[in-house]
Amino acid sequence: MTAENIRELARRCGFELAGVAAAVPAVDRARYHEWVAAGRAGKMGYLADRRAAVRDDPRHLLAGARSVISAGKLYQTPWPHSTRFHEAECAWISRYAWGEDYHDVMRRGLARLDGLIRESAGAGFESRICVDTAPLLERTYARLAGLGWIGRNTCLINQSQGSWFFLGELLVTMEIAPDAPPLDRCGTCMRCVEACPTAAIVPGQGLDATRCISYLTIELRGAIPEEQRGGVGAHVFGCDICQDVCPWNGRAPVTDDPAFAPRQFAPRLEELAAIPEEEFRAMFRGTPLIRVRYSGFLRNVAVAMGNARHEKFRAPLERMAESGDAVVAEHARWALGRMAP
């Protein structure tokens, strides 16, 4: 098997990008541990606990692994970017979460790829499928596999196709000649740094996750720091701004894969504030939004309403301020405090 064979099989499985890296200790492992030690992972314990050391070497996940097959699946759909959408009464949901949970989509594709490789290889081998829940520095191996470079915004960027990609890996005990990493082509561009409302992208240091809107609206449990709430804007789940403004995404292709078509594109904040928990679960079942949980979702809706400052949001915020959930109630009171007297 060659890397070109792998790419052809990957295309048959629906992946636009694919490549091969050697299954050796990650070249970025020291920088990763320094990033965690500096506290930039915030309260994402799964990045700092015992699993942090596992990320150093793919062979911790599959003993005898010789190659890391990295695959990228395009998820950009032909809908507006957040920087071109200005409906002040609506919520913004990150593009990656509009449709089906990408973990399921990627695992299905990688399982099919595994099967096709087995048919073509003519020899047995062991394998393990990894998506981003596995402790693996996947962007590092995607870069080494030639899929793109890691941009200033810490996203993997492909020169011809941009950064709107989900990544997944197939670890195999088969040795395949690896690809070569591309050059970093961010140059002196600072658009993502300048566009980030919460100054989460720190030049020379990477992403400070504790300031990132995606972290604040998804990963962080409990209260969002008050000084960060204004920068969250209308985002109720994740953020796309640093990708929206990236010049390499200016001509990025789109996909017609129905798995990524939006179930709820920019829903109205007033409607979201009134959703009972059972309806929330039903509406977003099978999508990444379930991760934020009902309480976190309402917390984010309250912040977005406070940032919009529409008088029509006063009544729903007053109801939320009476919530039995202390976090939701506190964020609703904060939002009411931003309304005109």
Catalytic residues, by residue number, are 132
DSSP 8-state assignment for residue 212: -
Cβ(142)–Cβ(136) below 8 Å: no
> Which of 14, 105, 76, 75 minimizes the C-alpha distance to 250?
76
Whether the Cβ atoms of residue 273 and residue 236 lie closer than 8 Å to each other: no
Helix (H, G, I), strand (E, B) or coil at 180: coil
Which residues, at least 6 apart from 332, have a Cβ–Cβ distance to it below 8 Å? 302, 317, 318, 320, 321, 323
Contacts of 8 (CB under 8 A, 6+ apart): none
Query: CA 201, CA 192: separation in Å to the nearest integer?
Result: 8
Strands 17-22 and 156-157: unpaired
Distance (Å, rounded) from C-alpha 141 to C-alpha 59? 13
Question: Are 218 and 237 a contacting pair, CB within 8 Å?
Answer: yes
Host H or E run for residue 336: helix 326-337
Instruction: Give one DSSP letter per residue of 32-66, joined into a string.
Output: HHHHHHTTTTTT-GGGTSTHHHHTT-GGGTSTT--
